[in-house]
Chain A
Amino acid sequence: MGEDNTILGGIHISPNAVATIAYFATLESYGVVGLAPKNLTDGIVSTITREPSRGITVRYKGDDIDIDINVIVEYGTRINSVAQSVANTVRFHVEKALGLHVNSVNVHVAGLRVSDTD
């Protein structure tokens, strides 16, 4: 997927483009306060980033798109609901923009941000 052949030639949609759409959808999701790129060597969650493709991995497998998102969630929200909203919103926006089927959206809650405790 990500490729489409028309009589004029091919259309290729790079995983980066998909990641950018997912990035904006994620940041507008309520409860998400940031994305977390994984440091591959030790798996430590490092700084919050503004670069669209970091924290998001997009893979094509045959006809399917799989998206992995590492998010930081506001402490005190119901994490399960926030994660589900992210998955829903990302799937909706990617499918709407590209007309491609999204097989899975995996949301990894990489950390929490604590602004208040009560």
Chain B
Amino acid sequence: MAVDTARVEKLRRMPIDGQSLKRLVDAGLTWLRTNQQIVNSLNVFPVPDGDTGTNMVLTLQAAWNEVKDSGVRNLSEMAAMVSKGALMGARGNSGVITSQILRGFSRGVHDKATLDAATLVKAFGEARDTAYKGVVRPVEGTILTVIKEVAIATEAALGSTQDAIEILEIAVKAADEAVKKTPELLPVLKQAGVVDSGGKGLFFILEGMLRHVYGESLETPTISVQSLSAMNLQDAMDEVEEGQDFEVVVDFVPNGELNLESFYGRLEEMGTSIQVGEGEGMYRMHIHVPTEKRYEPIDYIMGIGTVTKVAIENLLAQMDDIQKSAELQFTTVEPGQIAVVVVSPGTGLSRIFASLGVAAIVPGGQTMNPSTQDILSSFENLPTDKVIILPNNKNIILAANQAKEVTVKQVAVVPTRTVPQGLAAMLSLSPDGDLNAVAEKMAKAMANVKTGEVTVATRTVEIDGVSVRDGQVIALLDGKLVVSAETVEQGVMGLLEKADAAEHELVTLFHGEGMSHAEANRIKDVISGKYSNLEIEVQEGGQPHYQFLISIE
């Protein structure tokens, strides 16, 4: 939406009193709440618990609750109430800092009935000073740096403008730039490839105030187009809703500039799960629509650009496939025998596990950790009381151990961290042996296999000395990032080299959801070309996110 210049000119001539401040606080809160999830997702410092956005919203909400029914026109009285409300409701680290910033702001406007440019600048300065007083060892690259840069920029601007709205514009710009600089100041942010979450939150508060002045919408989050490689259409499958039976993907080149707002608006009338990606001059649009509307997105896009490729798929049929493949033949265990329960991330892998003699499978993996309860209910009704659990993921070992604590059955957890370790362990299962002896044997067997994982990076990072760009292929060897590459093939080859594949005998490739069997076989041929002594097998794994899981024995 464009800036409402008439509104800005009108506001410019009006004094900014307590009621104006109240509306600004409301705008800052609303805009922060709209973008709350963005802020949460950036949270890696000081503790990566993803609650920064929530804490800041709750803190500002408390400030708003304090003033929302107030008719006070005096600026400093209103600011004092905002400060008090924020203090009382401060939640978490970032919330406490936010409350200190508001406290400083309130001190800066002390005794003023209305806000002018000089007062606003003074208030930003006081906000910075108060915020910095609250900590012995201020960490730069955080919300503290952002309020500092805002104070410095607005102080410098005071010589050239006497307009409070201009000062606010400068503050928002300075906050934006300061947020972008945070990874340079705080290494942990740079490592994770994010900007500081609290700083970003403060930016949203200030930007919300400015958007209010401009008369812009505060309810719809900033529309963004992701890069093509970042589009995750697999995940979109999980969001199939009743009545949205067709998945339509259209590649197109728009005639001139694509107006995103009207584009999204039109698509939202047709269906759900909308994603738009951009790269190399073309756009890709993904949407779920009802059967009768399946040609509408294509017709619409043909009107605004040149369509290069269309894919329509019946989601209901796909869902049926998934349900069918879920019917697996499990080994039946006799009372007294050992039953093995495994966590499996994909249908193909489940089938392989089933063929190796597991008694039950818990679906789950990297992005979908099963709960203790899920694991528990998988074996509670088995007719035996001896159970071995293979978690097959390091994040699930804990839940498996908890399942062991709460059941009356005898349970051993063989701490397999990867699927190949789980498969290796399965091979040394003897169902009639002693539980602990068998578990020990399986644990030994799992140590004989190396695990490779090949996937696509979702953000730009540097870990363990390997630098990765968003969208690049990365390979992990036993959980450690070893290679980044442009193609899956390069990733696999790099990984095998790091794993000293020439010294091993058998390599098994389990290809994931996004990887066709034909392509997997082609890569197999490339490997045989380089390593003539290796025996190579290709199996359908069906796991999400990972193009390949690789077992090296």
Residues of A within 8 A of B (CB): 25, 27-34, 74, 76-78, 81-82, 84-85, 88-89, 92, 115-116, 118
Contacts and interface: CB of A to CB of B under 8 A. Distances in A.
A78 B90 contact: yes
Interface in B172-207: none
Interface residues of B, number: 27
B93 A76 contact: no
26 contacts: A27-B137, A28-B139, A29-B93, A30-B93, A30-B97, A30-B135, A31-B135, A32-B135, A33-B135, A33-B136, A34-B136, A74-B134, A74-B135, A77-B90, A78-B88, A78-B99, A82-B96, A84-B92, A85-B46, A88-B49, A89-B93, A92-B47, A115-B133, A116-B130, A118-B103, A118-B107
Contacts of B107: 116, 118
A92 B50 CA distance: 14
B106 interface: yes
Interface in B45-90: 46-47, 49, 80, 87-90
Given A28-B46, A34-B136, A77-B100, 4 more contacts: A32-B136, A33-B133, A33-B134, A116-B133
Nearest to B106: A118
A51 to B, nearest CB: 14
Overall SS of chain B's interface: helix
A76 B91 CA distance: 14
Given A82-B96, A89-B46, A77 B136 contact: no
A27 B136 contact: yes
A25 B88 CA distance: 25
B288 to A, nearest CB: 39
Contacts of B93: 29-30, 81, 85, 89
B95 interface: yes
User: Which of A33, A81, A88 has the most chain B CB within a 10 Å cutoff?
Assistant: A81
Contacts of A25: 46
User: Which of A27, A31, A33, A77 has the most chain B CB within a 10 Å cutoff?
Assistant: A77
B91 A81 contact: yes
Interface of B: 46-47, 49, 80, 87-93, 95-97, 99-100, 103, 106-107, 110, 130, 133-137, 139
A76 B87 contact: yes
B96 A30 contact: yes
Contact of B96 (A27, A28, A77, A118): A77
Contacts of B88: 78
Nearest to A26: B136
Contacts of A27: 136-137
A107 to B, nearest CB: 14
Nearest to A78: B90
Contacts of B49: 88
A92 B46 contact: yes
